[in-house]
A and B are shown apart, each in its own frame.
Chain A
Amino acid sequence: MEVHMIILTGVLVTVAVYLLLSRNMIRMILGTAVLSHAVHLLLITMGGAAGGNVPLLGESDGPYVDALPQALILTAIVISFATTAFLLVLAYRTYEETGTDDLSYLRRVRRE
């Protein structure tokens, strides 16, 4: 199971890199979102997701999975939510001001 998850992480990172390198601003933002999912998956795999029981005393017998990575992911998800939302609003405002969502054009925007 962990092997599958690592492969899936790899696929997600590949997709994220492809999206990040594109010139469209929305695609780039989706790229950061996909990258965050890949990283969360990597974190949970690193904590040893397979083969353990729910880490609740009295609810199940050991061995238990490590609960710490899940707490970390929860924090990271909140942060990823905030940054993605911010990026989307920023992209919209930039589009309103410059009339373009092409990053290679934005490179050439100089201060007036």
Chain B
Amino acid sequence: MNNILVLPMVVPLLTGFVLFFLRPSVKAQKLVASLSLLSLTAISVRLLLKVRDEGILRLDFGGWKPPFGILFVGDSFAALLVLTTSVVSGLILFYAFAATERRHENMFFYPFSFFLVAGVNGSFLTGDLFNLFVCFEVMLLASYVLVTLGGGRAQLAESVKYVAINVVASWFFLVALAFLYGTVGTLNMAHISVRVAEAGQGPLLSAIAVIFLIVFALKAGLLLYFWLPGSYSVPPAPVAALFGALLTKVGVYAMFRVFTLIFYHDAAITHGLIGAMAVLTLAGGSLGAIAYKDIRVIASYNVVIAVGFMLLGLAVFNEAAFQGSVYYLIHDMVIKALLFLAVGSMVVLTGESRIDRMSGLIRNYPVLGWLFFITMLSLAGIPPFSGFIGKVYTGLGAVEGGNYWLLLAGFLSSLFVLYSLLRIFMNCFWGETIITPEEQRPLNKKKLIPLSLLGALTLALGIGTQAIAPFVADAAHVLAHPELYIDAVLGEVPPGE
């Protein structure tokens, strides 16, 4: 039985419900949350190994054979992302145990974090396009609550925009689904792919593909990222880290799934469009990252740049580039969590968020300073950290495909990333210290441990690339050969039935 496939969604969901009833005791909440996160990580590792041993897994709910029932499909791509989500969200929540205010903990901070993780894992694993919409909504509703939690003036004002844009995007997702269902008459992703291939991707299907592109671009922050810097920079550090690490990545994942499995026939239109949008995203994100002085806004623009970079791999559309994107996706989940937690810690410790009002922090908080330095190197793609390998493979793919402009844009953006973070590092960590030892707020160990673990993780991913290489290669192989996915899902059903 492949029942393990559903556990990465069910475990956090059930944990969320249990935590609701544990509201009076924060201690019990933390205990249950820790146990659940550890078991989630164990399950994800088991899932990844099972996929390696048995190939692509499939779970038909209620025994309804595809294409009629809803199903979960686990390939290496999904399993890798589920594992990364479990580990990263675990570390973020361990940081949150130490950093979250009591009033937030009492207002269901932990349950909604778990619902968010459930939605994210569900989105990665589902093999049904409408189910993807539902998982998106689970994730988004949890994120609406988290972004508004605590509710100061600025936070509420940004939340209204965030919620409104996501609600409108969700209805557009449904419009795209309606058109697609009206055209091909099925919602199973593998079955849609077969039918699209049979009918040929004409103008009608290409138009539907572009609606999907717009929807996912809104969710991922590809070109349509205008809402992102505002809403990612107002919530408290753990929430911002959850958002920066997980939310946009789900949009990126959905784009990879849909445009490699279903709409890959008319690459001139869809993938040309994705390439152009990715380059514009890189340019806009780079400008934003060096234009602002608020460190939280700079961190948010770094999310935008990373999204642009990952989608270069999709635009290039060959196996090497897919490998690069998968590596970069995993790396970015880890490093964005670290970046947002480090930036959030700086804001909490100094009470300031502008780079021109902070100085000399490395004397007060040396470990935080070095962790930020590691983050910077890793984001810029300097070996031996995890950003390097993703950039190398994306570059290789771009050279192989002859997309030299995309290559140039990708690597130029790395310089902007480096510059924007170097600016934070030089202004905030170097120079005369502004905090005297007497008024220095302590950075307690409970916060430093998750931060250090994330730092160690980015180093480990960089040095130990060999260990995950077979999984990434398999993920890229399935992305480049959609027939493998289709065979695994529709195995005993003759194609076109």
Of A25, A46, A91, A103, the most chain B CB neighbours within 10 A belong to: A46
Binding site for A on B (CB under 8 A): 130, 134, 137, 141, 144-145, 148, 151-157, 159-161, 163-164, 167-168, 170-171, 174-175, 177-179, 181-182, 187, 234, 353
Closest to B183 in A: A46
Q: Do B167 and A46 touch (CB < 8 A)?
A: no
- A47: chain B residues at CB < 8 Å are 181-182
Closest to B144 in A: A86
Cβ-based interface call for A15 (8 A): no
- A107: chain B residues at CB < 8 Å are 157
Main secondary structure of the interface of B (DSSP, over half): helix
Question: Which of A20, A46, A90 is the one whose CB lies under 8 Å from B163?
Answer: A90
Per the bound structure, the CA–CA distance linking A103 and B165 in Å amounts to 13
Question: Which of A43, A97, A111 is the one whose CB lies under 8 Å from B178?
Answer: A43
Query: What 0/1 readout, one digit per residue, does chain A (74-93) give for beta carbons within 8 Å of chain B?
Result: 01100100110011001101
Binding site for B on A (CB under 8 A): 20, 25, 28-29, 32, 35-36, 39, 42-43, 45-47, 68-69, 72, 75-76, 79, 82-83, 86-87, 90-91, 93-94, 97-98, 103, 106-107, 109-112
**A–B Cβ pairs within 8 angstroms, 15 of them:** A25-B160, A28-B164, A32-B164, A32-B168, A32-B171, A42-B178, A47-B181, A83-B141, A86-B144, A87-B164, A87-B167, A91-B160, A93-B156, A97-B156, A107-B157
Per the bound structure, the CA–CA distance linking A78 and B266 in Å amounts to 36
Contacts beyond the supplied A32-B168, A86-B145, A93-B148: 20 A-B pairs with Cβ under 8 Å: A36-B171, A39-B175, A39-B178, A42-B175, A42-B178, A43-B181, A47-B181, A68-B181, A72-B130, A72-B181, A75-B134, A86-B141, A87-B163, A90-B148, A90-B163, A98-B153, A106-B157, A109-B157, A111-B154, A111-B353
Minimal beta-carbon separation of B390 from chain A (angstroms): 33
Minimal beta-carbon separation of A43 from chain B (angstroms): 4
- A87: chain B residues at CB < 8 Å are 163-164, 167
